[in-house]
Amino acid sequence: MENQTTEPIRVIIADDHVLYRAGVKASLSTKTDVKVIAEADNGMHLLTLIKNVEADVILLDIQMPIMDGIAALPEIKKIAPKTKVIMLTMVDDNSMITKLMELGANSYLTKTSDSEIIYEAIKTCFEQEYYFNSLTNKALLTNLKQRNPVTPQPLVGQEVPLNEKETTILRLMCEEKSTKEIADLVELSPRTVEAIRDRLKVKTGSKTTAGLIMYAVKHKIIEEI
């Protein structure tokens, strides 16, 4: 990732608590590869900002006045589809996490997460699209079981034959391995691993990596995460 050391990851913090924003900004200021380029105190302010400022990652609080994070998320994805969005909340709510991941969130952190976790989530979302943690994995699994334990899930797609390489890569994705780690383990280039991941999405009818993980669980490719 040498080419990314010159250009830091551009981050916007959207949160109505000034002290929280200041704390996150201060902790990230010690990192040379991440730079907070702007702050917003509600969703409407954020949407105005991203029309003029290009960000790589947005830290988005769910509960804000005027426009909250849930309402802002789909609008962010319309204005800046390539920008990764990490949801911040005080609440660990499985159905909410799943809903937000389906709306396009790239990760979900509680506001009690320490600064290193936030930094890791920013880096991982920027480089690999998603940052999965115990919160997101538990929510996806719980939601999958609750939706309908008997009939197949349309969201997850019908079972399709996967070759050995595809199955291995899907298992490794469920184990939260990075693209580079998977590439090293299966002795392929990261680009090839990404191509196989895209092919897996098409074959399984999954729109997102979250959908792929749900597919893997449902069809017992991986028993549990």
pLDDT per residue, tens digit, the chain (225 aa), is: 444 447 899 999 999 999 999 999 999 999 999 999 999 999 999 999 999 999 999 999 988 888 888 899 999 999 998 999 999 988 776 677 777 877 888 888 888 888 888 999 999 889 878 887 766 766 766 665 565 444 444 444 456 778 888 888 888 887 778 888 899 998 889 888 888 888 888 888 777 777 777 778 777 776 544
- The CATH code of the domain that includes 62 is 3.40.50.2300
Residue 191 in domain: yes
**According to DSSP H, which parts of 133-219 are helical?**
134-147, 164-174, 179-186, 190-204, 209-218
Asked if the structure places residue 169 within a domain, the reply is: yes
Q: Which of 74, 103, 132 is the last residue of a domain?
A: 132
Q: What's the confidence (pLDDT) of residue 47?
A: 94
Same domain? 50 vs 90: yes
One-letter amino acid at 218 equals K
What does 63-81 look like in DSSP terms, one character per residue? S-SSS-HHHHHHHHHHH-T
Give the range of the structural domain holding residue 104, as residue numbers without chain letter.
Answer: 2-132
57, 95: one domain: yes
Q: Which of 107, 132, 157 is the last residue of a domain?
A: 132
Q: Tell whether 223 is covered by a domain.
A: no
Long-range contacts of 148-156 (CB under 8 A, 24+ apart): 152/218, 153/214, 153/218, 155/102, 155/211, 155/214, 156/204, 156/205, 156/206, 156/211, 156/214, 156/215, 156/218, 156/219
Confidence at residue 175, expressed as pLDDT on a 0 to 100 scale:
76
**Interior angle at CA 37, CA 133 and CA 109, nearest 5:** 15
Q: Please tell me the predicted confidence (pLDDT) of residue 142.
A: 67
Task: Kindly state whether residue 203 falls inside one of the protein's structural domains.
Answer: yes
Domain count, the chain: 2
pLDDT of residue 2: 43
What is residue 12's predicted lDDT score, i.e. its pLDDT? 95
pLDDT the model gives residue 26: 93
Q: How far apart are CA 181 and CA 41, in angstroms?
A: 37
Domain assignment present for 207: yes
- The single residue listed with the structure tokens 């201060």 is 26
Q: Say whether both 41 and 122 belong to one domain.
A: yes
Q: Which of 82, 107, 132 is the last residue of a domain?
A: 132
Angle (CA) 104 105 107, round 5°: 145
Distance CA 138, CA 13 (A): 26
